[in-house]
Amino acid sequence: MEKYQEIERSIIKKYRKEIWNRFIDAVVQYQLVQEGDNIAVCISGGKDSMLMAKCMQELQRHGKHKIGLEFLIMDPGYNPMNRQKIIDNAKLMNVPIKMFETDIFDIVAGTDRSPCYLCARMRRGYLYSHAKELGCNKIALGHHFDDVIETILMSMFYGAEYKSMMPKLHSTNFEGMELIRPMYMVREEDVLKWKRYNELDFIQCACRFTENCALDENAGVSKRLEMKALIKNLRQTSPGIDQNIFNSAQNVNLNTVIAYRDKTGKHSFLDTYND
């Protein structure tokens, strides 16, 4: 059996409950995939997007909908080591990638204001643009369960608002394009277990400004890492707390919310208090 076949088998056999079932649950529950979709699976080279690529291949082979897939990698200015590692892993895992180059890292290096925010926006735009050129109507990103709950807490603690990472979004700048997150219900700890079981080695951080963490899962300091540490500590006394955070975004009681915003503007509980 080839190595890529062992990797595929581990997804649908050994980690069926933890990875495959949760992947399918998200696809079905949030209606992420429809008949005739042509999806650009966006790969950064990390563990999450590479696992997503393999899950999407399995979905294409065994799912009820006929879909097309393009495995898209944007090179924002990787160093040669990271670039080659991505190419080698794609070959090992039998993922037929299409790589295109940009100068995002060079552009971001020239700004002092929110380089990570600027980089993320530019990367998203390039991915949408190239996906559309390939005839795709959707791009798939590898954000997982932990990304979702960390985003909720970060928005509360540092943004002073309650905001979740959505499982799918319509693009505001590319008409007819949509973003989907098929890994939405898959936990990071299970992605790590799958990676270690298959003895895989992915890049961890491709950013030129933090290349010292390129092959170190524990390096780097950020608000998101603060959230990871906080959730880890909370799990020790309340094992189901991460699931409660996730569920809270799908169980909002508007009768107990002081104010909220929607497409029509801001609304206060006072608007209907005397009705």
Range of the domain at 146: 3-219
Span 210-215, average pLDDT: 43
Tokens (6 digits) for 182: 């098929």
CATH number at residue 121: 3.40.50.620
Query: What pLDDT shows up at residue 212?
Result: 43
Instruction: Give the C-alpha separation, 53 to 93, whole Å.
Output: 9
Distance CA 134, CA 116 (A): 27
**What confidence score (pLDDT) does residue 218 get?**
37
Containing 74, the helix (H) or strand (E) segment is strand 68-75
pLDDT on residue 214: 40
Residue 235 belongs to some domain of the structure: no
Is 34 within the bounds of a domain? yes
- Cα–Cα distances (Å) from 47 to 144, 192, 195, in that order, read 11, 8, 7
Domain for residue 133, yes or no? Answer: yes
Task: Report the run of H or E that residue 178 belongs to, with start and end.
Answer: strand 178-180
CA pair distance 33, 139, nearest whole angstrom: 11
Calculate the alpha carbon distances from 188 to 75, 145, 194, 230, 248 in Å: 24, 7, 10, 15, 19
Q: What share of the chain is helix, strand, coil (3-state, %, to 5)?
A: 50, 15, 35
Helix (H, G, I), strand (E, B) or coil at 31: coil
What is the distance, to the nearest Å, from the Cα of residue 117 to the centroid of all Cα atoms in its chain?
16
How far apart CA 90 and CA 71 sit, in angstroms, is 10
pLDDT band at 216 (very low <50, low <70, confident <90, very high): very low
Q: What is the spatial distance between Cα 20 and Cα 10, in angstroms, rounded to a whole number? A: 10
In this predicted structure, the answer to whether residue 199 has a pLDDT above a threshold of 80 is: yes
pLDDT digits (tens, 9 = 90+) for 34-69: 999 999 999 999 999 999 999 999 999 999 999 999
Q: Would 231 be classed as within a structural domain?
A: no
Q: How far apart are the first and last CA of the chain?
A: 68
* Whole-number pLDDT of residue 117: 60
110: left (phi over 0), alpha (psi -120 to 50) or beta: alpha
Is 236 part of a structural domain of the chain? Answer: no
Domains identified in the chain, total number: 1
- C-beta of residue 186 within 8 angstroms of C-beta of residue 195: no
Give the mean pLDDT of the chain: 89
Q: Which two tokens stand for residue 155?
A: 């928005």
Rounded mean pLDDT, 190-200? 98
Q: Is the residue at 75 inside a domain?
A: yes
- For 97-154, the pLDDT digits (tens) are 999 877 666 565 666 655 566 566 677 778 999 899 999 999 999 999 999 999 999 9
Residue with the two structure tokens 């699931």? 243
Q: Is residue 255 part of a domain?
A: no
Nearest-CA neighbor of 71 among 178, 87, 79? 87
